[in-house]
Structure 1
């Protein structure tokens, strides 16, 4: 007989099995799927989802993320601040050992890992206050534009909670269900989170070592990060029609040699065989054209926004410069 795997439910919790279908349309079918396909206990899932709170402010927040609502010159001001840089230097000093280990293991630069932590959570100060089960259920069943994505994340989250032997009610994160210092979505946690301090638990919430290793593992395995390779380069495009290359997307597909031949100029010394993408950032004085290389695309895989990736890249450079005693802003 197939064993039914259950959550750890505390005995003092009241048994609530009222249908939540009016608040979460389709929840009964979802529960049946989790029972049939993944071996969950039906009464416990009904109890869990009866306790879910649909959050209207989550639905409002998901419709206006900063990456889509702000131009680059406003977006960068959020993260490229003296405070972000100074706290990044401090985090690096405290976590030198794990950052060095991550670079040795995965080839990812320490400053890039630190910058991701700065952009994502301000080095752990803002990891999100929503219960993950509320966030994911709200978006899976009440946000049609991305319901399929968040339904998948909800499945991954329930599997994650079971694997980690933790009550799903106790996880907190962002309004979109991103968790911990690294702000991993549930599927990313299951695939890329690592127990970097080898204490028996992949803890990206309270253990910086695990967050550092997990970010580096993600960038290497999913992003294809290349050690000692360039990230991005500012381009000079006077008199060049660069718009044709914008349609190629953010995945590098055009050789630097071809772009140079077409008249684009870059200050950095980059191999002509290096593949690049061409993208534009909006500055107050007009568009700024950049080339993004494989490692820039690795950052895009972490968060699919060129504004996000550029914020990480520039913050990383500023943190490293200040740590080395050079000008950072």
Structure 2
């Protein structure tokens, strides 16, 4: 949920269902003296003392924090997986978008999305009415993140966050903050900090929220007094709330294909969800939307490396909102197209196939 929300992700694929089981291997810290009573894998690790002190401000005694850290396990597999997340650079068209899209828009994914929608029709309708987010986009996020709850991850969250806080210096500042939020969250929700399991980067539940996003955006959508992101109803409400908080515009489009007169002219322009162009400026370069966009002021120019040639789209405000979940054009476009496919399939007669392009 960028690895902003959610997980300020470096990757193109969402961090879900990693299947990493907690195992204890040799620790670089085993020979170091215990600090603040912290024993085990993180005894004497850089940053542990400061973290124990940091938790005092939240009412965690040093003994309590030390006991939790002493029970956490350093996972080398997590470090290895993080190191493999750096995106590769492409020097030319290679069909990367077509391959990426296929991971999320197969027949099973669309059909399972329709089934998830039907199972949770009431919760989705209520969330859509309250937060202004169409149900198909809520369903698509959960589909892309965890295959509709089928792969929420097997790694203990405490192990993931402690490993990345105290054994992965490159991202230690970010993950230390998430560990802090996780311990506060566990106390707020009366959760055993050793119980929750999720992705190798610490994302949780059907929507893969990081702890800070849980505290900021998770909601008790079913009214049982608990925010439980492994519960479909709460996950649905929380995803919708996250989108609303980041500026979702009810009733507005997300993205539309662009008609390009000159591929070389488009290739020379800066593209991506962070770009901002006026429609007149794009028109002067031979780039126009394939349908009217109303009063839209500016749009982003999106380039997709599709098999057979580049595709160009215009992203609107709601497309940018999806990228707040994961800072990737491909991710947001996969969510958009999966949402459209699910809505079309749900409204189509059983067995009717939907178009593979949107």
* Bin for the TM-score computed over the shorter chain: 0.7 to 0.9
TM-score by length of 2: 0.81
Indicate how the Cα distance of structure 1 residues 217 and 171 shifts in structure 2: closer, same or farther if over 3 A, else same.
same
Q: Report whether the alignment pairs 1:29 with 2:45.
A: no
SS in 2 for 1:242: helix
Checking the alignment, whether the CA contact within 8 Å between 2:43 and 2:70 is kept in structure 1 is no
Which of these residues, 227, 230, 242, is aligned with residue 253 of structure 2? 230
Whether the aligned pair in 1 keeps the contact of 2:42 and 2:166 (CA below 8 Å) is: no
Question: What's the counterpart of residue 327 of structure 1?
Answer: 353
Give 2:291's aligned residue: 268
Structure 2 unaligned spans of 5+: 1-36, 90-94
Give me the whole-angstrom Cα distance separating, in 2, the residues matched to 1:125 and 1:23. 38
Matches for 1:113-128 after TM superposition, within 5 Å? 113-128=138-153
Q: TM-score, normalised by structure 1?
A: 0.88
| Equivalent runs, 1:1-329 vs 2, <5 Å | 17-18=38-39, 20-21=41-42, 24-35=45-56, 37-65=57-85, 71-205=96-230, 207-222=231-246, 224-239=247-262, 241-243=265-267, 245-246=269-270, 250-251=273-274, 253-271=276-294, 273-325=296-348, 327-328=353-354, 329=356
For 2:11, the equivalent position in structure 1 comes to: none
Higher-RCO chain (CA-CA 8 Å, sequence separation at least 6): 2
Would you identify which runs of 4 or more consecutive aligned residues in structure 1 move more than 4 Å? 19-23, 66-70
Match of 1:135, SS state, is: helix
After TM superposition, give the deviation of residue 124 of structure 1 in Å. 0.6
- Comparing 306-315 with 139-148, greater Cα deviation is found at 139-148
| CA displacement 1:255-303 (0-9 Å, x = unmatched) | 2233223320221221253321112111122322221110000100011
Q: 1: distance between equivalents of 2:125 and 2:262?
A: 44
Q: 1:327 to 1:270 in 2, by over 3 A?
A: farther
Greater shift after overlay, 143-152 or 255-264? 255-264
* Equivalence for 1:7: none
